[in-house]
Structure formats: structure tokens, C-alpha cells
Amino acid sequence: MTEFIRKRVKNVRNDVLSGITVALALVPEAVAFAFVAGVDPLVGLYAAFMIGLITSIFGGRPGMISGATGALAVVMVSLVAEGNAMGSPDENLGLYFLFLTVILMGVIQMLAGVFKLGKFVRLIPHPVMMGFVNGLAIVIFLSQLGMFKQTVNGEKVWLEGNSLWYMIGLVGLTMLMMWGLPKLKATKKLPEALIAILVVSAIVIFSNLDVATVGSFIRDGGGEGLKGGFPVPVLETFSKIPLNFATLKFIFPYALILAAIGLIESLMTLNLIDDLTETRGNSNRECIAQGGANVITGLFGGMGGCAMIGQSIINIKGGGRGRLSGITAAVMLLLFILFASSYIEQVPIAALVGVMFMVVIGTFAWSSFRIMNKIPKTDLFVLILVSSLTVIFDLAIAVIAGVIVSALVFSWENAKRIRARKRIKEDGTKVYEIWGPLFFGSISAFNDKFDAKNDPDKVEIDFIEARISDHSALEALFVLVEKYQAENKTIKLKHLSEDCKVLMYKASDKFHDIIIEDVDDPRYHLAENPEAFPKGLGEYKF
């Protein structure tokens, strides 16, 4: 019992300290993504608080951090701009369209969870997962390079002179501390990222160095500061925007895209955290929690969001494993907004950039370079494709493209595996012993195995080592039977599964004389719905 209590106390301490570290890293990220979307920084900060809190309590992956993300922000910027164009310049309708879209986005995500669509993340191949990780690491790295710029006469220019050297030095110091501190046993009670941020912040404050801070970053972007109040429902959304078909027609495509991007990024991050912690999250529960969080966020004036891979890894590496870590991060973020804005605004951007650079190093799958010559070229192509598309476009396009290419490659490779061993029985019957999967991709090769005109009068096709996989395969069998019957030849089908036989019997009574019943018939199920399939077989009448 004493050991159990000690372990629980240790977990609570790790969760709280890691949550504080994550909260500090969330501030510039949420602010930056709000600027990308073209909305006030508080809209991003409120989203980070509400989504982070709700998903931490109700989500399917303890230890995973959610908030406002760049993948969603790049889609929202078009929505906000189009929405603003629909009203007068002083109305700012784009913001209200955004809130309404986030609510609809959340509803779609909740439906995905209710209908248990989260399990389809299991279909994502490993090369796609590695490409996703590498692509996101590159995206995080590129996003941090923007912190090495300053606003001059309304334009972003690269830092020069002492400002640049101060920035590089402080970033390097932060990274060095995060690398070296874990090797000192005395510092294991505190996350190295938190220690690094506090030390670098103290150096900047007491040395009075002229470097970019969280406060200057917000003001350079056009914001007034981090200070804000407790989020309240934005009821004017429903009075500003008419709830009619025209509004739904405008926001639905955006809501669908945002919901897809949010779920893909969240579920992929969930899988990654599963691997890091060697535990298993609940994908469907995460879908419902993400959706519910976005509905509430939209009602309370947030920009919506999803899982954040960078902050999630900071949390896991800092020892955060339980729900308390995410709850702490969300609550601390709100406390920063309400009471500690003046202190948080003094944190140097360099310290947070250093933390994110270490996240990049820890996120990137460096093993992908080592295995480049050891995996199939098609898998290597998929890995590079997904990484590139993640950087060029966004995560949803990259993952969908990767899955499609992987599926096509799989189908092509399996299509070439269909074989037919041929032999003649003593009574003159020609036997085709089929080996391999019969599906839409292998039908052409399957048909090439037969010669209806030159075969003997009796033909038997044995499927004991084959598998009839789909509707297309069944139709190929119907066409083949029809060809032999047109030549007035007897054909028998042997070792078909029960599913195949049921469908064929329903299509035509003739199949009772064609199919050979055997105790060795295989037992597997088709992907086709047996009740719906016969309706499409009207053209096959014998």
C-alpha cells in the first residue's frame, strides 16, 4: 500500500509539473495560430483552454494535449475572409461564421465517434505513420523559424546583429539544458523543459536583454496583450448569422474539412502516444470528446482545435501520463490569461523555441534513414510522399494520399498472385486448382487462366487455396460459368465458402447443379452484403 501511494504521488507530481510546462509552450502556439486564422489571440487561447480541458477529462487518450492547431488555422483563414466579405467592414461576420462552423465541425466529429469510425485509423499503414511523424516534425521546425523574424515597418524581416546572436544563444542554451539536465539525477523531480524555460527567462529578465518575448510577439502581431477574462457564451453568433440553408451551404464544406483534419491529426497523435507509452487509447471515445469540445468552444468564442503532437510529446517526455497533466495545462493557461499575463509576457520566445526544437528532434523518425535500403521501394515512396505532402499541403491530404497509394500498391501486388494449377483426371475432366486472392484487381489475370473454347467437355474449378473476396470476384465467376455453358460444356465449382454459395443460389437455381458441396468447404465471409448483392445480378439469367 505504501508503494502504491508513493507511485500515485509521483504520478501526480509529474502530471502537474509537466502540465505547467505544456501551458507555457501553449501560449505562443495558440497566439500564432490565431494570427494565422486572422482572429484575435484570445480566440486561440480560449480554444486551447476549453479543448484542452474537455478532452483531458473525457478523451480516449490520457496524457494527450489538444488545443488550437496550425493544420486547422490554415483552413480557417479562408473561412474568416469569406465571412467578412459578406457583411460590412465593421461587422466582422467572419468571426461569427467561424464559431458556427466550429460547432458544426464538432457535431460531425461526435457522429464519427458514435458510429465508431475512429477504428478506421487502424487501416493507416506504418509508412504513412512514419511519413506523418516526419512531416509534422518538419512543419514544427519551419513554424519556429518564423520566430527568428521581427516586424519592421509592418513587414517581417530576419533578425540581424546582436538580436540574432542573442536569439541563437538562448535557443542553444535551452536545448543544451534539456539535453544535459536528464543526466543529472538531482533534477529528475522537475521536467527539464520547465527548468530550461525558468532559467532562460531569469537570465533575460535580470540581464535586461533586448530580445523578443511573449508580450512583444503578441503586440507585433496586432494583439493588445495576453490579458483577458473568463470565456462566456457568444450568443450574438446566432443573431448575427441567419440559420438557414444558405448559411449551411457556406459553412458545411469548411466544417467537413476541419472535422476530417482534426480527427486524422488527433487519431494519428493518439497512435503515436500509444507507441511512446506502450498503452492503448480509445479512438472512438476521443472522437466524441474532440467533437464535444469543439461544440462548446464554438459556443464560447474559441477557434476550435484538435490534438497537438508537439505539446503532447512535451507532456509525455516531461512525465505526464494521466488526465491530470492535460487538466493542469488547461487550467494554468486560463490562470495565465486571468491573473499572470504580465509575468507570462516576459518569457522569452527563444526559450519556447528551444523547447520546440527539442520536440522536433524527438519527434522525427530518424530510423527512417537507416531503413531506407531495407524496406520495399513502394513503402519508401509512400513515406517520402506523406512527409512531403504534410509540409506542402496539410495533414489530411497527406494521410489520405498515403493510404490511397498504399491501398493501390497492395491491390496491385496481390493481383499478381493469382495462380492456376491445371491437371486432367482419368475421366478426362480438366481441373483448375486456383491459388491466391480473387478480387477486383486480380480478375483480369484470373480470366486469362481459362480457355473455354479448347477445354474438354467437363471442367472443374477448385477454390480450396483461393479466396473469393468481393462483388467483382463473384461477377467474374458468373461470367466464366456463362462462357462454358455457351460452349455446351459442363462446369463444376468446388470448395466455395458458404457466403459464395448463398449468393449464387439466390442468383439462379442453376447453381445447385454447378456447385459441389463438400465437408472441406472453407469458412470465411465476403465483404459484400448477401441480402443486397442478388439485386444487381439481373443480367445473369441461365
More confident residue, 222 or 129: 129
Is residue 157 helix, strand or coil?
strand
What would the mean pLDDT of 476-488 be, rounded to a whole number?
90
pLDDT at 108: 96
Residue 5 reports pLDDT greater than 60: no
Residue 151 reports pLDDT greater than 80: no
Is residue 462 helix, strand or coil?
strand
Radius of gyration, CA atoms only, the chain: 30
For the segment 88-130, what is each residue's pLDDT rounded down to a tens digit? 666 778 899 999 999 999 999 999 999 998 877 777 888 988 8
pLDDT bracket for residue 187 (50, 70, 90): low
Closest-CA residue to 71 (of 8, 140, 4, 171): 140
Q: How many Cβ atoms from other residues are within 10 Å of residue 339's Cβ?
A: 11
pLDDT bracket for residue 347 (50, 70, 90): confident
Kindly compute the dihedral angle of the four CA atoms of residues 353, 29, 313, 327, in this order, to the nearest 10 degrees.
130
pLDDT at 516: 84
pLDDT at 141: 87
What would the mean pLDDT of 385-406 be, rounded to a whole number?
86
pLDDT at 399: 84
Closest-CA residue to 143 (of 268, 307, 29): 29
CB 109 within 8 Å of CB 294: yes
| Edge-to-edge strand ranges of the sheet holding 419-424 | 419-424, 430-438, 458-468, 490-494, 515-516
pLDDT at 214: 85
List the Cα angle 12/14/15 in 5-degree steps. 65
What does the block give as the cell for 435?
Answer: 491459388
Q: How many Cβ atoms from other residues are within 10 Å of residue 278's Cβ?
A: 6
What is the maximum span of the chain, computed from C-alpha positions, in angstroms? 100
Residue 341 reports pLDDT greater than 90: no
Is residue 213 helix, strand or coil?
strand
More confident residue, 390 or 401: 401
Q: How many Cβ atoms from other residues are within 10 Å of residue 362's Cβ?
A: 16
Residue with cell 487455396: 465
CB 527 within 8 Å of CB 496: no
Quote the CA–CA distance of 251 and 330 in Å, as a whole number: 28
Among 28-32, 120-124, 141-145, 438-442, the range of highest mean pLDDT = 438-442
CB 49 within 8 Å of CB 22: no
Amino acid in the structure at residue 20: I
Phi (first) and psi of residue 463, to 5 degrees: -105, 25
**Predicted TM-score of the model (pTM):** 0.74
Is residue 155 helix, strand or coil?
strand
What does the block give as the cell for 65?
Answer: 494535449
Quote the CA–CA distance of 66 and 461 in Å, as a whole number: 56
pLDDT at 527: 61
Among 246-255, 509-518, 526-535, the range of highest mean pLDDT = 246-255
pLDDT at 110: 96
pLDDT at 532: 45
DSSP per position, 219-274: HHTT---S--------THHHHHS--SHHHHHHHHHHHHHHHHHHHHHHHHHHHHHH
Quote the CA–CA distance of 67 and 46 in Å, as a whole number: 9
Quote the CA–CA distance of 52 and 435 in Å, as a whole number: 52
pLDDT at 325: 94
| Secondary structure element (H or E) that encloses residue 468, with its range | strand 458-468
CB within 8 Å of 129: residues ≥ 6 apart? 268, 271, 272
Strand partners, 348: 213
CB 210 within 8 Å of CB 163: yes
pLDDT at 298: 95
Residue 119 DSSP code: G
